[in-house]
Amino acid sequence: EGHAPKKNIFMKGCEDRARQSSEGGGASPLAHVQTRILPFMLSKNAPHLFSYRYSRFKVQKYKEGCGRIAIWKEFNVMNSFTMEASFCGSNQGKLASCYFRPCDLEEMGHQLCDTFLDYFDPDPYKRERTLNEIYNLLRQQVIQTLAKQGKPPPP
Q: How far apart are CA 127 and CA 140, in angstroms?
A: 20
Tell me whether residue 84 is one of the annotated catalytic residues.
Answer: yes
Active-site choice (15, 23, 64, 84)? 84
Helix (H) or strand (E) holding 115: helix 102-119
DSSP string computed for 72-102: HHHH--S---EEEE-TT-B-SGGGBT-PPPH
Task: Give me Rg for the CA atoms of the chain.
Answer: 17
Q: Are 25 and 118 in contact (CB under 8 A)?
A: no
Residues known to be catalytic? 84
